[in-house]
Amino acid sequence: MSEKINDHTPMTHKQIVAVMFGLMTGLLLAALDQSIVSTALKTITVDLGGLNHYTWVVTAYLLTSTASTPLYGKISDLYGRRQVFQFAIIVFLIGSFASGIAHNMTQLIAFRALQGLGAGGLMSLTFVIIGDVVSPRERGRYQGYFGAVWGLATVAGPLLGGFFSDHNKVLGITGWRWIFYLNLPLGIIALVITSAVLHIPKVRREHKIDYLGAFLLIVAVSALLMGISVYAPENGWLTTKTLIWIGAGLLLFAIFIWNQAKATEPILPLRLFKNHTFNITSLLGFLVGAAMFGAIVMLPLYFQLVKHNSATLSGLKLLPLMFGIVSMSIFSGKWITKHGKYKMFPVIGMVLMTAALLLMVTLSETTPYWHIVIFAAMLGMGLGFCLQNLVIALQNSLDVKDMGVGTALNTFWRSIGGTLGVAIFGSIYASKLTAYIGSGVKHLAATNPAALAGATPQAFAQLKNNPAVMKAFTPELQATVIHSYVQSFHVIFYAAAPVTAIGFLVALALKATPLKTGAQHAQAMKEAAGEAIG
């Protein structure tokens, strides 16, 4: 089975920029929706009810976007990039519109799951398509654009979520619904641009879809994420329910791997694990995801709980982090294009991230903001050195026929690492906060009992995420609670630093393989096309 193969002549710079703009718009959609909803959750639950199910608004999106990521990569290898990418955009837009008109929490959770199904394709196929369009050697000059998208989404997500949730009505429509409607014009722009300029040669291969493998992967990832992101934070990591879900996920994943060894057209070709660079970049992606999401979640919490900043101001204070990501993505990309060397950047990036996390242990109630600017910028610089450069190293090592699934799996491991990082660091934070507040209150009860006036068990139970209850506390008790917040954040940063330190050791093992040039890349694409129709 085959269809006409288009010309494999490399695109001009102008054509590439046009394609990049469409891809960046699609990526921005998915990246924004990872963070924009969180700051509006309280407003949404008040409007729709269902407070006991509010975490599922985020979890449903996370489950479907993560579980579908490897599938999009494989399907695009079989059917072509543009069609599958545009399918992902359409699914995302349908989910966004439906989420905006949801009348209750059940509907919103279901529509967010649909939205996540589209987001899985947007996040993975963006980088797959870049791998088709631009050679590894020349890709660096364009990667800063995508670093800018991630940085923008990191800051703009909480900002926009806070803005729309703070306004009861915007243009006659309930404020929080604009969080979803905002996606519609951006998605339409992405569809128009990709239809007009994304003309990647289509290579249709003989294929047989591994439906059983796809089902096993989705169920395995869903069970694992349910245990990690839902039941572990709610019930504890060693409870029966948590262990059953995580155990079931691991067992199903083992069955999935066994199935892949026998499949004619596996979703996850096991030959990829013979690729040294694939293994190293997958592990690094996992570690970067864990440290990145753990730290990025904790910094805004520090601003809100310790410095008493609003959600909007907390988002603005993350601008140095965005600056670090964007500036070092651009710098390292241009360096790689000029010199063809990339290994040093993930190594330096891990060092910077580790140093930044250790410096954040010095944060206190009185730390001046300019200190935090330095720490956040260092963390962003480390991320800027790692995120896109790992993808360049990976794609340089892959055969064209595995470009889609290999690149998508890198995104998948980073998402799994981020989910695990947020869950583990969140659990550590909650347990340590309870312990520190308990010891602080015990000390006050022994030395200054009057300071506990106005405090109730119910108020203490809400302190983890709602500092407003402290208004009824005495100044002495407020100071004790705030210091407990600070101590809990210290533990998180201490816990995250070894993760990036291990990442440094892993990055040292990365092989510095010469990057393919434009001519070599075009030749590889032609050979892959010839193999497909031969």
Q: What are the two backbone dihedrals, phi and then psi, of residue 169, each rounded to the nearest 5 degrees?
A: -135, 140
**What's the pLDDT at 464?**
61
CATH number of the domain residue 22 falls in: 1.20.1250.20
DSSP 227: I
Tokens of 513: 């393989």
Residue 201: band (very low, low, confident or very high) from pLDDT cuts 50, 70, 90: low
Specify the pLDDT at position 55. 67
Q: Per-residue DSSP letters for 455-521? A: --HHHHHTTTT-GGGGGGS-HHHHHHHHHHHHHHHHHHHHHHHHHHHHHHHHHHT---PPPP-HHHH
The region, left, alpha or beta by phi > 0 then psi within -120 to 50, assigned to residue 478 is alpha
State the residue range of the domain holding 242: 210-264
Of 31-40, 185-194, 243-252, 482-491, the least confident: 31-40
Looking at residue 5, its pLDDT comes to 37
Per residue, what are the HEC states of 317-341?
CCHHHHHHHHHHHHHHHHHHHHHCC
Beta carbons within 8 Å of 86's beta carbon, 6+ residues apart: 191, 194, 195
Q: Which DSSP category does 169 fall into? A: E
For residue 33, what is the DSSP state? T
In the predicted structure, residue 171 carries a pLDDT above the cut 80: no
Q: What percent of the chain has pLDDT over 90?
A: 16
Q: Which pLDDT score is estimated for 3? A: 36
Return the ∠ at Cα 520 (arms to 518 and 522), rounded to 5°. 65
Of 133, 157, 143, 136, the residue nearest 385 (C-alpha): 143
Q: How confident is the model at residue 229 (pLDDT cuts 50, 70, 90)?
A: confident
Runs of H (alpha helix) within 309-452: 311-316, 319-339, 344-359, 369-397, 403-447
Structure confidence at residue 347 (pLDDT): 94
pLDDT at 194 > cutoff 90:
no
In terms of pLDDT, which residue wins out, 502 or 322?
502
Residue 237 lies inside a defined structural domain of this protein: yes
pLDDT on residue 420 = 81
CB contact at 8 A, 232 and 430: no
**Cross-strand pairs, 173:** 170
By C-alpha distance, which of 381, 380, 389, 382 is closest to 333?
A: 389
Please say if the pLDDT value at position 6 is more than 60.
no
Residue 517 scores a pLDDT above 70: no
Q: Mark whether 252 and 398 lie in a shared domain.
A: no
Tell me: do 282 and 179 sit in the same domain. Answer: yes
The confidence score (pLDDT) of residue 195 equals 82
Position 346 in a domain = yes
pLDDT of residue 30: 80
Question: Quick one: 308 and 345 in the same domain?
Answer: yes
CB atoms within 10 A of CB 385: 29
Helix or strand or coil: residue 253?
helix
Q: Give tens-digit pLDDT for 385-394.
A: 888 888 888 8
Instruction: Please report, for residues 301, 342, 362, 461, the alpha-carbon distance to residue 163 in angstroms, rounded to integers and kept in the order given.
Output: 17, 40, 31, 27
Domain boundary among 264, 286, 303: 264
Write out 47-109 in H/E/C secondary structure.
Answer: HHCCHHHCHHHHHHHHHHHHHHHHHHHHHHHHHCHHHHHHHHHHHHHHHHHHHHCCCCHHHHH
CA distance 444 to 451: 7
More confident residue, 170 or 319: 319
Q: How far apart are CA 385 and CA 372, in angstroms?
A: 20
Tell me the torsion sign for CA atoms 497, 498, 499, 501: positive
**In which band, very low, low, confident or very high, does the pLDDT at 532 lie, cut at 50, 70 and 90?**
very low
Same-domain check for residues 383 and 358: yes
Residue 189, pLDDT above cutoff 50: yes
Are 176 and 305 members of one domain?
yes
Task: Identify the CA nearest to 119 among candidates 322, 418, 411.
Answer: 411
Read off the pLDDT band of 363 (50, 70, 90): very high
* Spatial distance between the Cα atoms of 344 and 389, rounded to a whole number of angstroms: 10
Outline where 101-225 has alpha helix (H).
Answer: 105-133, 136-166, 178-181, 183-197, 211-225
Q: What is the pLDDT of residue 107?
A: 86
Q: pLDDT tens digit string along 285-305? A: 999 888 776 666 778 778 878
Across 337-347, average pLDDT: 87
The yes-or-no verdict on residue 444 having pLDDT over 80 is yes
Domain contains 6: no
For residue 217, what are the CA distances in angstroms to 127, 256, 348, 369?
A: 21, 6, 34, 45
Q: Looking at 242, 264, 286, which one is the last position of a domain?
A: 264
Residue 315 to residues 145, 180, 343, 377, Cα–Cα distance (Å): 21, 19, 32, 14
Output the CA torsion sign for 133, 138, 142, 147. Answer: positive
Residue 410 lies in a domain: yes
**What is the pLDDT at residue 94?**
94
Question: What pLDDT does residue 346 have?
Answer: 92
Predicted local distance difference test score (pLDDT) of residue 8:
54
Evaluate whether 310 touches 159 at the Cβ level (below 8 Å).
no
182 and 227 part of one domain = no
Pick 218 or 150 by higher pLDDT. Answer: 218
Work out the average pLDDT over 69-90.
84
Domain end among 247, 264, 281: 264
pLDDT at 2: 36
Model confidence at 348: pLDDT above 90? yes
Position 456 in a domain? no
Q: Report yes or no on 219 lying in a domain.
A: yes
Tell me the average pLDDT across 347-355: 94
Beta-carbon contacts of 177 under 8 Å, excluding residues fewer than 6 positions away, are 100, 101
Domain count, the chain: 2
Predicted TM-score (pTM) of the model is 0.82
Residues 305 and 316 reside in one and the same domain = yes
Three-state secondary structure call for residue 400: helix
171: left (phi over 0), alpha (psi -120 to 50) or beta: left
Instruction: Please compute the mean of the pLDDT values over residues 256-284 and round it to a whole number.
Output: 87
At 530 the pLDDT is 47
Tell me: do 368 and 257 sit in the same domain: no
Average of per-residue pLDDT across 140-152 = 73
Q: Tell me the pLDDT of the chain averaged across its residues.
A: 81
Considering the domain boundaries, does residue 495 fall inside one? Answer: yes
Same domain, 190 and 254: no
**Average pLDDT of the residues in 37-42:** 70
Averaged pLDDT for residues 408-417: 84
- Closest of 8, 11, 68 to residue 405, by C-alpha: 68
Q: What does the pLDDT average to over 146-154?
A: 74
Cβ count within 10 A of residue 203: 25
Stretch among 201-215, 369-383, 472-486 having the lowest mean pLDDT: 201-215
- Same domain membership, residue 240 and residue 126: no
Residue 370 lies in a domain: yes
Let me know whether 141 and 276 are in one domain. yes
Predicted pLDDT at 527: 54
Q: Are residues 76 and 188 in the same domain?
A: yes
173: helix, strand or coil: strand
User: Who contacts 366 (Cβ-Cβ below 8 Å, separation ≥6)?
Assistant: none
